[in-house]
């Protein structure tokens, strides 16, 4: 669906060249929700703008649905943009237009006649759950409602791809979740391919199928969300994963526990998919003469299954503990010894 080949973008700043996107190769399948995560300055903003030609690449190509976006311009590019629409962090609605008129805007651009526009707007208002607010101005809406207008507007011309530029970063956690649910719903119902950029691992975890991690303009890690959560390779990915799984409290608790129970081992277990539903811990206690103390636990659901971490304190002889760990590994639960007591 979307093919990026050796894509680079170099900005000519006053102080010299700045490589925002550095030799990126990516392939995104139709109907996929693809996440790109990175800190600010990682180049993800530039990358997403290369996908609809808002930025021109310095080299490389972007092919969407067989059409080379980087090679076209003028009316051909404008036409292509109607099929690759975009939503934004700050919504970017026209304050001078009502909800209805904002959603109508892309239809006016596409030259849809007035009577068809009205019917389509009505459909979209309903789809994003804004019925009854058609005649409100953006200033009268909450952040979440504004983003719903943004989504309706982006869907107006029945695009094949939806680009989300930090679409939930300006929203509170609860509103973020409701917007993410709407995106998943749209993805399933309309079969739309969604590419989103974010700096929040929570967003990736919640809705993405695959993720690319960006740092310094390069894609440093790419894979299935669950797999990336389970075994992050790059250091930056580990930090992003920790955003979702570790809390500051747990670090604190572990430190305290080391003091409280100087004996035994602190072990972190990582469960993925079906294992999260198995009584592995019960089996462990029955089979091995170790004492187990649960320190901290966490489970996160992704689009491709659940992912859980559990920190245990295990007491017993070194022999018993290593046998217990071997059992867990045999059940394909990852283990990591966090401290020596």
Partner 1 sequence: MVESLFPNVDWENMWEATLETLYMTAMSTFFTFVIGLVLGIVLFLTAPKQLWANSIVNWLTGAFVNIFRSIPFIILIILLIPFTKFLIGTIRGPNAALPALIIGAAPFYARMVLIALKEIDKGVIEAARSMGATTWTIIRKVLLPESKPALLSGITVTAIALVGYTAMAGIIGAGGLGTLAFLDGFQRSREDVTLMATILILVIVFAIQFIGDWMTTRSDKR
- Site residues, partner 1 (CB under 8 A): 52, 54, 77-82, 85-86, 88, 90, 92-97, 105-106, 108-110, 137, 139, 153, 157, 163
Which residues is 173 bridged to in the sheet?
none
Say if residues 263 and 341 touch (Cβ distance below 8 Å). Answer: yes
Classify burial at 297, counting beta carbons within 10 Å of its beta carbon; exposed 0-12, middle 13-18, buried 19 or more. Answer: middle
C-beta of 135 vs 247, nearer to partner 1: 135
CB of 82 to partner 1, least distance (A): 5
C-beta of 79 vs 188, nearer to partner 1: 79
C-beta of 106 vs 308, nearer to partner 1: 106
C-beta of 197 vs 311, nearer to partner 1: 197
CB of 253 to partner 1, least distance (A): 42
CA distance linking residue 279 with residue 233, whole number of Å:
28
CB of 72 to partner 1, least distance (A): 12
Close Cβ partners of 315 (under 8 Å, ≥ 6 residues apart):
261, 263, 264, 290, 291, 292, 293
CB of 23 to partner 1, least distance (A): 25
Helical H segments across the chain, by residue range: 44-51, 74-81, 99-109, 114-127, 143-155, 173-190, 201-207, 225-230, 235-245, 248-260, 280-287, 318-330
C-beta of 170 vs 306, nearer to partner 1: 170
CB of 39 to partner 1, least distance (A): 21
CA distance linking residue 333 with residue 276, whole number of Å:
10
């Amino acid at each position: 669906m979307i093919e990026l080949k050796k894509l680079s973008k170099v900005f000519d700043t006053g102080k010299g060249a700045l490589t925002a996107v550095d030799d990126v190769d990516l392939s995104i399948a139709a109907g996929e929700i693809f996440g790109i995560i990175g800190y600010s300055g990682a180049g993800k903003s530039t990358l997403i703008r290369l996908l609809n030609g808002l930025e021109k690449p310095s080299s490389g190509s972007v092919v969407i649905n067989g059409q080379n976006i980087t090679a076209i311009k003028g009316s051909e590019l404008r036409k292509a943009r109607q099929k690759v629409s975009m939503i934004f962090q700050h919504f970017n609605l026209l304050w001078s237009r009502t909800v209805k008129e904002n959603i109508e805007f892309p239809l006016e651009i596409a030259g849809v006649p007035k009577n068809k526009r009205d019917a389509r707007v009505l459909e979209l208002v309903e789809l994003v759950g804004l019925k009854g607010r058609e005649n409100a101005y953006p200033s009268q809406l909450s952040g979440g409602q504004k983003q719903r207008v943004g989504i309706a507007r982006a869907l107006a011309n029945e695009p094949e791809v939806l680009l989300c530029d930090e679409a939930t970063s300006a929203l509170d956690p609860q509103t973020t979740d409701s917007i993410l649910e709407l995106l998943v719903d749209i993805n399933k119902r309309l079969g739309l391919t969604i590419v989103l950029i974010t700096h929040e691992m929570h967003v990736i975890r919640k809705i993405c199928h695959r993720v690319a991690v960006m740092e310094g303009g390069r894609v440093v890690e790419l894979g299935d969300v669950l797999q990336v959560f389970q075994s992050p390779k790059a250091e930056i990915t580990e930090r992003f994963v920790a955003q979702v799984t570790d809390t500051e409290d747990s670090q604190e608790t572990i430190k305290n526990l080391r003091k409280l129970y100087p004996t035994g081992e602190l072990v972190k277990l990582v469960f993925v998919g079906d294992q999260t539903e198995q009584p592995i811990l019960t089996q462990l206690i029955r089979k091995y003469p170790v004492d187990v103390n649960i320190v901290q636990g966490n489970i996160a659901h992704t689009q491709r299954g659940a992912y859980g971490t559990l920190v245990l304190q295990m007491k017993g002889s070194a022999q018993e503990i290593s046998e217990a760990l071997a059992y867990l590994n045999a059940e394909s639960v990852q283990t990591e010894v966090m401290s020596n007591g």
